[in-house]
C-alpha cells in the first residue's frame, strides 16, 4: 500500500444518488492520511449535507462561487490548485457535459476549469443517461482531454432498480484509482542509462536528393518514452521523422547512418541499447555537392558503399552495454532470420517484426500504430516469445517490462562505476 500521508485532494461531489457512498470514501481517505477538501454542487446538497461532509473531512465545505468569505480567504483558483489531485464523485451526466464543453457557471465547474492538477472522475448515472450519445461524446472528449475515469460499473441502480452500466465504482475501487494517481509509479530502471535509435536514415545523393526507407520512428520513440517512464536516463538518436520529440528524453536528431553511429558511440557507456532505427544498409559512395542535373537521356550511375553496422558496432564495443537489443524487419522466415541476425551481430535480444502483407497490420507495420513482434533471445531459453498484434505503445511497455525483469533487483550502476568498469 502506497503512503498517501500528507497528499491533498480536492473532492467535488455532484448531485447524484451515489453521493452517499462518498462519505465512506472520505473516511477511507482520512484513514490513509489524505487531507480532503470538498466542493459540493447545489444538487449534491439535496443528497447529503455539507454538515456531514465537513464533520468527516474536518474542514469547511465549499459550495458557492460567489461566497465573499470563501473567495477572500482562499478563492476558487487556489482551491483548485492547492491539491495534488482533483476527484469528481459522483460525476453526474451534467458535470461531465460541463467539463467536456468548458462551462464554468458554479464553483465545481469553475474549479475544474481552473485546476492545473490531474483530474479523476467517478461517473454515476442511470444506464440510459450513460448510453446517451451526448454522454458517449462527452466521455470521448474527457478522455482526450487527459481526464481519468474510474467506473461506472454494471449493476442495479439504487433509485430505479434498472440494470445496466452506470453505477458508481465502489469507494474502495475509487480509493485504489486515487492511490494509482497519487503514488508515483514504480521506476524499476531508475539509475540505468539507455540509448535508443529510431526512424530511418537519409543518405544523400546530392544536396536535394536522398535514399531513405519508410520507417516512421513510432516504435523507437514509444520505446524511448517507456524507458524514460520506467526511470531510465534515455538518449534517443533519431533519423528524420515527423514526430514531436518525446518528453523526458534527450533527443539527438541526425540524418545519416554515420551521424547516428557517431552519436550512439558518444552516448556510451550505457546499460541498455535498443537499436530500433531502420538504418540504410548502403549510402551513395560519393554524394555530389551540387544538385545533379538531368542532362541527356542517361541517368547518373550511383555507386553505393556499405554503411557502418551500428548494432554490430555497439554489440562488439569496448564499452558494450549490458543489454543490446536489435530489431529485424522481416518479410519471411521471421524467427529463423532473426536468430541468424542475433548471432551475426552479437546482440542479446532481437525484436523481429513481421513487415509482410500477412502481418495483420492494416496498411503494413511501417508508419502504422500497431506491430506484431517476436522476441528472440541469445539464450533461447530466456523466453522467446511471439507477441500478439499490439499497439506500438503496448509493444514498448512489454519490452520495457522484460528489460526491467532482466535487470531485476540488481543495484543500479553509477555512471562513474560504469566508466571505470565497462561491461
Ligand X SMILES: Cc1cc2nc3c(=O)[nH]c(=O)nc-3n(C[C@H](O)[C@H](O)[C@H](O)COP(=O)(O)O)c2cc1C
Q: Which stretch binds ligand X (CB under 6 A): 21-29, 65-73, 88-96, 316-324?
A: 88-96
- Burial class of residue 113 (count of CB atoms within 10 Å of its CB; 0-12, 13-18, 19+): middle
Q: Give the residue with the Cβ less far from ligand X, 18 or 278.
A: 18
Considering only residues 29 through 58, tell me which ones interact with ligand X, judged by CB under 6 A: 41, 43-44
# chain residues binding ligand X, by CB under 6 A:
17
Among 9, 16, 107, 237, binds ligand X (CB under 6 A): 16
DSSP class of residue 17? T
Residues with Cβ within 8 Å of 342's Cβ and at least 6 positions away in sequence, in order, are 326, 349, 350, 376, 377, 378
Question: Where are the strands (E) in 55-142, listed by range?
Answer: 61-62, 85-91, 119-123
As beta bridge partners, residue 304 has: 284
Contact call for residues 326 and 351 (beta carbons, < 8 A):
yes
Q: Grid coordinates representing 237?
A: 538518436
State yes or no: is 213 an active-site residue.
yes
Angle at 150 between CA 144 and CA 151, to 5 degrees: 110
- With binding defined as CB under 6 A, does residue 10 bind ligand X? no
Q: Nearest-CA neighbor of 267 among 216, 217, 200, 197?
A: 197
Residues 142-171 that bind ligand X (CB under 6 A): 159
C-alpha cell at 2: 502506497
When the beta carbons of 12 and 400 are compared against ligand X, the nearer one is 12
Q: Is 198 in the site for ligand X (CB under 6 A)?
A: no
The reply on whether position 94 binds ligand X by CB under 6 A is yes
CB closer to ligand X, 16 vs 321: 16
Q: Which stretch binds ligand X (CB under 6 A): 121-129, 227-235, 372-380, 401-409?
A: 121-129
Cβ atoms of residues 82 and 42 within 8 Å: no
Min dist CB 92 to ligand X, Å, is 3
Is residue 17 a contact point for ligand X (CB under 6 A)?
yes
Catalytic member of 138, 213, 319, 353: 213
93 lines the binding site for ligand X (CB under 6 A): yes
Q: Which window, 8-16, 175-183, 232-240, 347-355, contacts ligand X (CB under 6 A)?
A: 8-16
Query: In terms of CB distance, is 17 or 389 closer to ligand X?
Result: 17
Report the sign of the C-alpha dihedral through residues 89, 93, 95, 98, in that order. Answer: positive
- The helix or strand, by DSSP H or E, that contains position 373, with its residue range, turns out to be strand 373-377
- 198 near 241, Cβ under 8 Å? yes
Least Å distance, CB 423 to ligand X, is: 58
Among 86, 88, 122, 124, binds ligand X (CB under 6 A): 124
Q: Is 217 in the site for ligand X (CB under 6 A)?
A: no
Out of 9, 15, 278, 372, the only residue in the binding site for ligand X (CB under 6 A) is 15
Q: Does position 110 bind ligand X by CB under 6 A?
A: no
Rg (CA), the chain: 28
Task: Let me know how long the chain is.
Answer: 423
In the three-class reduction of DSSP (H, G, I as helix; E, B as strand; rest coil), residue 227 is classed as helix
Tell the smallest beta-carbon distance from residue 100 to ligand X (Å).
13
Task: Give the span between the Cα atoms of 219 and 225, in whole angstroms.
Answer: 10
Mind telling me the catalytic residues? Answer: 213
Binding site for ligand X (CB under 6 A): 14-18, 41, 43-44, 90, 92-95, 124-125, 129, 159
Amino acid at each position: 500500500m502506497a503512503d498517501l500521508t500528507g497528499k491533498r485532494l480536492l473532492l467535488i461531489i455532484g448531485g447524484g444518488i451515489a453521493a452517499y457512498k462518498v462519505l465512506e470514501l472520505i473516511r477511507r481517505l482520512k484513514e490513509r492520511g489524505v487531507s480532503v477538501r470538498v466542493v459540493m454542487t447545489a444538487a449534491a446538497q439535496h443528497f447529503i449535507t455539507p454538515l456531514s461532509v465537513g464533520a468527516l473531512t474536518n474542514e469547511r465545505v465549499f459550495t458557492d462561487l460567489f461566497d465573499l468569505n470563501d473567495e477572500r480567504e482562499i478563492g476558487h483558483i487556489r482551491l483548485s490548485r492547492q491539491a495534488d489531485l482533483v476527484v469528481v464523485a459522483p460525476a453526474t451526466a451534467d458535470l461531465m457535459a460541463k467539463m467536456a464543453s468548458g462551462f464554468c457557471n458554479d464553483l465545481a465547474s469553475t474549479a475544474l476549469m481552473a485546476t492545473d492538477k490531474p483530474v479523476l472522475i467517478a461517473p454515476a448515472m442511470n444506464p440510459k443517461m450513460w448510453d446517451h450519445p451526448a454522454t458517449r461524446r462527452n466521455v470521448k472528449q474527457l478522455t482526450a482531454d487527459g481526464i481519468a475515469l474510474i467506473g461506472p460499473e454494471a449493476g442495479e441502480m439504487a433509485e430505479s432498480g434498472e440494470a445496466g452500466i452506470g453505477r458508481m465504482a465502489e469507494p474502495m475501487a475509487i480509493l485504489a484509482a486515487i492511490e494509482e494517481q497519487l503514488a508515483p509509479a514504480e521506476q524499476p530502471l531508475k539509475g540505468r542509462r539507455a540509448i535508443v535509435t529510431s526512424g530511418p536514415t537519409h543518405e544523400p545523393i546530392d544536396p536535394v536528393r536522398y535514399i531513405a526507407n519508410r520507417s516512421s520512428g513510432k516504435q523507437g520513440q514509444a520505446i524511448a518514452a517507456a524507458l524514460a517512464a520506467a526511470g531510465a536516463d534515455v538518449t534517443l538518436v533519431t533519423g528524420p521523422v515527423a514526430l514531436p520529440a518525446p518528453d523526458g528524453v534527450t533527443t539527438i536528431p541526425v540524418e545519416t547512418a554515420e551521424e547516428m553511429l557517431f552519436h550512439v558511440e558518444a552516448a556510451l557507456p550505457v546499460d541498455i541499447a535498443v537499436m530500433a532505427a531502420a538504418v540504410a544498409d548502403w549510402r551513395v559512395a560519393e554524394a555530389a555537392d551540387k544538385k545533379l542535373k538531368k542532362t541527356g537521356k542517361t541517368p547518373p550511375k550511383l555507386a553505393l558503399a556499405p554503411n557502418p553496422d551500428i548494432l554490430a558496432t555497439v554489440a562488439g564495443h569496448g564499452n558494450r552495454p549490458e543489454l543490446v537489443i536489435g530489431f529485424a524487419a522481416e518479410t519471411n522466415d521471421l524467427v529463423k532470420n532473426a536468430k541468424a541476425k542475433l548471432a551475426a551481430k552479437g546482440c542479446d535480444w532481437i525484436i523481429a517484426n513481421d513487415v509482410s502483407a500477412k502481418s495483420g497490420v492494416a496498411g503494413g507495420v511501417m508508419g502504422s500504430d500497431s506491430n506484431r513482434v517476436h522476441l528472440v533471445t541469445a539464450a533461447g531459453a530466456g523466453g522467446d516469445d511471439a507477441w500478439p498484434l499490439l499497439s506500438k505503445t503496448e509493444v514498448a511497455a512489454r519490452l520495457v517490462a522484460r528489460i526491467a525483469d532482466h535487470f531485476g533487483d540488481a543495484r543500479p550502476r553509477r555512471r562513474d562505476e560504469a566508466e571505470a568498469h565497462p561491461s
